[in-house]
Every structure is written in structure tokens, then in C-alpha cells.
Structure 1
Amino acid sequence: MLSPPPFIDNEAIACAVAAHWLPEAAGADYLPWGFGAHHWRVTGGGTTLFVTLDQVEPRHTAASLEAAYAGAAALAATGMDTVCAPLPARSGRFTVDVGVGVLSVTPWLEGRSPTEAEAREPRHVGQIIDALAALHHAAPPDGLRYWAPRVGPAFADELRGRTARPWRSGPLAEEARTTIVACRGAIEDWTGRYHELADIALTRRDSWVPTHGEPHHDNQVVGVHGFKLVDWESLALAPRERDYADLLEAGVADRLDPDPAMVELFSLDWRLSEIDEYARWFAAPHTGTEDDHTALEGLREELSAAEA
């Protein structure tokens, strides 16, 4: 997230990291990176850690986050060197509940995420294909959750009810609500199609594989350590097409041989879950921060598919 969270400060983060991972932790610096979770750099005793605070609703539970991060660590332990694995706390677990969310920690990687253009260069695309092939052929870690639809069959009807009256929750609330209302018909069509495809996928669970869930360029880091996939909070068993969105946009479908129905499923999975999260965001109190404006642009982008 671009703005620090109002519900926990840097000192509390440093104290939690000192208590559970790095006793020498001397301080935490907030990092305005990504969109969804909050991140800090914590240093001490010559060690630098990357710290993530995930909130457990609506996308996660404490149990699902622990299973995902433990699963990533298990994959790395098998020799998958493209996995940037979380570090266990002194308890042996990979997450710590701090009341306002769940903390996890990874080593600090010196490097950077590639741009969208760089991520589509042939050499880099080859690295991603190889990394995902290794992941999809890996033995599933114990306890790894199965993917499930992220909105229910009644989502469109529920959203219609939630947007029936003006929102007074903040400066962008009404703009968000009316944007959603203008696309109600498309949302209804998408929801119906989504569950048709999900039903097909669920009949094939015995063929599902470990999937990252969001292996786009922002969740890749390149540097002296080579190529790494980061942010494993969405690790789950699913059809392999769950990981293919960016690769298909790069024009390498012939190298992946994806099932078109599953490609469509995970396009809708992303779109509808994003619409759901943005609807919750703007129905709740907000003040018009940079994050709020970024979220509104994200909502418009997801709904722009209705015009197509």
C-alpha cells in the first residue's frame, strides 16, 4: 500500500519482529510498495528483513496465510531456488497475529522488479515459464489449500442490494457506487459465467497443481540472486491456468497449451474479486488518500471490460 496503515506504527512492527524473528531489530521503515498489503524494511545486527502485514478479511484467514507461507518455505526446501521463502518465527510458524493482521518475514533481496516491458522480453519470459513449470510439477506441500471461487453465485444480486442507495462513507464513495451500478448487467453475466466455469474446474481437482496465484512482474525480483518470485500469500492448489494471465498477454500461448475455459475462469476470478474488494473499500469510511484514488482507478479498470 502507498500509505502507512493508521492502525499500527513502525515501532510496533519493529517490536513484533524483535519478539518473533530478529532480537536485534533496531527500527522499521515503511515501504510504499505494492497494493493490498503493507510492507516495512526492518534492520538490526547486520541483518535486513522484508516484513509484510496481511489483513485477513476478505481474501484470507489466519490459517490460509500460514498454510501459504509454510507451503512456500516447503517448496524452497526442496530446492526451488526461484522461491523467496518466508522465514520461520521462533515458534516455528511462518506468521504472527498482531491483532490488526498477520505478519510474515522474508530475507531482504537486493534488486528490483522488472517493468511490464522488461517482463515481456523473451529471455525474461523464458525464466517465468521455467519457474512456473517447476512449481506446477512440484509435489504439493502438506496442508496447502485448494482454490475456491472468491465470490458466490449470488454476488451480483448482493452487490445490487449494497449499491441500491447512495454511499456517504467518503469523498469517493458515490463515484465508486455509480460506476458499479452502471455495469450491473455485465456483473450479473460475469458472475453466472464464472460459476459455470468454476463448476467445471471443481470436477478436475485431482489434476490441480501448486500455483502462485499472482506471478506478475510486481511479484518478481531480479538481482545478484538471480530471478525470484515473491509474495506467496495466494499459493494454492488450482488449475495451472491460474498463473498464466501475464504470459498469455506476452503471446506465448503456444508454449503453454492452456485450456481456454480455465483461462476465462481465472480472468473472471480476478475481475470479480477485485470488484468485490473495491466495493467493500468504498462502502467503508475513507478520506480520499492516494490509496483511495488508486483503488478507484482499479475499480474503473476492472469494469472497463463491460464496454468491450
Structure 2
Amino acid sequence: MRSRPSFLTDETIIRALAEHWQPVSEIAYLPWGFGAHHWRAGSLFVTLDQLEPRHTAASLESTYASTAELAAAGLAFVCAPVPTRSGRFTVGTGVGALSVTPMLDGRSPAEDEVDKPAILAALDALHRTPPPAGLREWAPQAGPGFADELRARTAVPWTSGPLAEDARTALASRGDAIKRWNDRYLELAALAASRRGSWVPTHGEPHNDNQVVTPDGLRLVDWETLAVAPRERDYADLPGTPGLDPEMTELFALDWRLSELREYADWFSAPHTGNEDDVIALEGLREELGLG
């Protein structure tokens, strides 16, 4: 996120690091990514994940524990979380969960700089690895009532912030399309469930922003989306990859779109100030709706 969280101070994070990981002498907010908040604390990269709607505290802990298991199994490209002194991987703050990974020496490539053979090799190795026992399974992000509930929510004005009405009217204008997307999504999700025996560990969002090129090779970061799922879940940003099932590819394009619409609807129907993150979110909403 570009903007610092107003609900968590640097002092709180410093105390949590000292209590659960290691003391640090300095901390700096990093205006990176979108969805989570990040800080640099010496050699540590600190993340604050807000749980809902993707996770509970227990499922996030299990997900990061599974990530550590994958790294321990020999997947060198996995940037695994650092355990606390007690052996856990997350610490609750009351407004989300803190986790820590090593601060990598490298940078994320631009979209046109992605080393496609390297990321394809990493994903192939991930998909061939037996899933850790506690790893969660992918589940549909939008249920049968999603489109109808969204239509009802957007039928009355939103007064939650300066961009609320822009977001509401954009969503309302695409109600019929959202209904079509939702119906097709549920059809494809049922097909995927019927093939549960072929599901594999998937990162979920291995796009360029979650890749870091280091002197020791490619690393994948941001493993909070790790789940057992059809392999096509990992190829949305790698079009033309051979051997993909077109229906499962369609499923995960819709999975991304509908989950984004749900999160943006929650975002703009809640209090907001119109800051840089809000503006970026509105642009993202319009893109997912096909409004340019």
C-alpha cells in the first residue's frame, strides 16, 4: 500500500519484532504493493496482512507454515517467513497479523523483463511437490448470491467517502455482466471440484511484482495466497503456456475478477478519504469492470 496505516504505529511494530523475532534499531515504511502494508527493519521485511475476506488468523498461520515447509523441502525460490521464537510465523496485532521474511537483495522485474523460463521452471517444481498436510484448498471467492447481493448493495447511494458514488455507479452499471460472470464462474468451479484429485500446490499470484531477481536467482514472495488448486491458477500472467486447460484458465480469470470486485465493493462502501490508495483502487475497479 502506498499510504501508511493510520491504525498501527512504527513503535508497535518495533515492540512486536523485539518480543517475537529480534530487536531492531530502525524501521522504515515501504510504499510497495497493494493490499498489505510493508516495512524494512534492518535485514527484515515486515508485512501486515489484514485478514478478511481471504483469511482467518488460523488459516494465515497455516499458510505461512506450509510455505516454510515447501522451502524446507528444497524449493530454493520460495522466500519463506522467518519463525518467531515460539516457532509460529504470524503475530496478531488486533488489526491484522505481522509476519517477517528476509529482506532480499534484488528487485522485481517489469512485466516485459520477466524471465519466463525461470518462472515456468519454478512453478513446475512447485506443482510437482506434495502439498504440506495443513495446506488449505482453494475455494470460490464469490458464491451463488454474489451478483444479486451486489446489485442490492449498489441500488442506493453510498456516502462513505469522496469516491464512494463513483465506485457504486460503476458497479451498478455492470450488474448484468457481473451476473453472467458469476454464473459462469460457479459452473467452472463445480467442474474444478470434480477434478480435485489433480490439484497441486499453487502460489496464486506469481506475477512480476511477486518475483524478485537476486544474485542467487529468482525468488517468489508474498505467499499468503498459497493453496491447493488446479495448476492453471498460477498462469494468468503467463499466456501461451502449453498444456493448460482452457476452462480452468477461464475459471481463474473470473476468480481474480470477482474477488477484486468484492474487495473493491467493500473498500468503497466503507469509510475512506480519497488518498492515493483509494484512487488506485478506483482505477482497478474500473479496469475489472471493463470500463477503461
Q: What is the TM-score when the length of structure 2 is the normalising length?
A: 0.98
User: Structure 1 residue 58 and structure 2 residue 44: aligned?
Assistant: no
| Match of residue 226 from structure 1 | 217
- How far apart are the structure 1 equivalents of 2:273 and 2:124? 43
**Contact conserved, 1:2 with 1:34, CA < 8 A, in 2?**
yes
Q: What corresponds to 1:73 in structure 2?
A: 68
The amino acid of 2:54's aligned partner reads R
The match for 2:167 is: 176
Q: Does 1:213 align with 2:213?
A: no
Partner in structure 2 of residue 95 of structure 1: 90
Q: 1:204 aligns with which of 161, 179, 195?
A: 195
The one-letter amino acid paired with 2:104 is L
Partner of 2:147: 156
C-alpha separation between the residues in 2 aligned to 1:225 and 1:284?
43
For 2:280 and 2:216, locate their aligned partners in 1 and report how far apart those are by CA, in whole Å.
Answer: 32
Give the equivalent residue in structure 2 for 1:31: 30
Contact 1:15 1:25 in 2 (8 A): no
Identity %: 65
Equivalent-residue separation in structure 2 for 1:189 and 1:25 (angstroms) = 51
- Residue 214 of structure 1 aligns with an amino acid whose one-letter code is E
Could you say which residue in structure 2 is the equivalent of 1:267? 253
Q: What whole-Å deviation, never above 9, does each CA across 1:232-251 have from its counterpart, x for those lacking one?
A: 00100000000001111xx3
The superposition leaves residues 93-124 of structure 1 with CA deviations (integer Å, 9 ceiling, x where unpaired) of 111111110011001101100001101xxxx1
Equivalent-residue separation in structure 1 for 2:171 and 2:61 (angstroms): 34
Amino acid corresponding to residue 210 of structure 1 in structure 2:
P
Is it true that 1:166 corresponds to 2:166 in the alignment?
Answer: no
What is the deviation of 1:225? 2.6
Give, in whole Å, the separation in 2 of the partners of 1:182 and 1:286.
22
- The farther-off stretch of 187-196 and 61-70 is 61-70
Cα-to-partner distance string for 1:25-74 (whole Å, 9 max, x where unaligned): 1232110000000000112xxxx100000001112111111111111110
Q: What residue is the counterpart of 1:294 in the other structure? A: 280
2:159 counterpart SS class: coil
Q: Assess if the C-alpha contact under 8 Å between 1:20 and 1:90 holds in 2.
A: yes
Residue 9 of structure 2 is matched in structure 1 by 9
In 2, Cα distance between equivalents of 1:17 and 1:301: 38
Q: Could you list the per-position Cα deviations for residues 197-253 of structure 1 after superposition, in whole angstroms to 9, with x for gaps in the alignment?
A: 0000011111110000000000000021311000000100000000001111xx3x2
Aligned residue identity for 1:201: A
Output the amino acid matched with 1:31: L
Q: How many pairs were matched up? A: 292
Q: Give distance in 2, aligned partners of 1:94 and 1:233.
A: 12
SS at match of 1:221: strand
Cα distance in structure 2, aligned partners of 1:287 and 1:276: 19
The aligned amino acid for 1:99 is G
Q: Which amino acid aligns with 1:40?
A: W
- Three-state SS of the structure 2 residue aligned to 1:245 is coil
Aligned-pair RMSD on alpha carbons? 1.0
Structure 2 Cα separation of the partners of residues 209 and 64 of structure 1: 18
Matched AA of 1:131: A
Q: Which runs of 4+ in 1 moved over 4 A?
A: none
Gaps of 5+ in 2: none
- What letter is aligned with 1:6? S
The alpha carbon displacement at 1:2 in A equals: 0.4
CA distance in 2, matches of 1:302, 1:66: 30
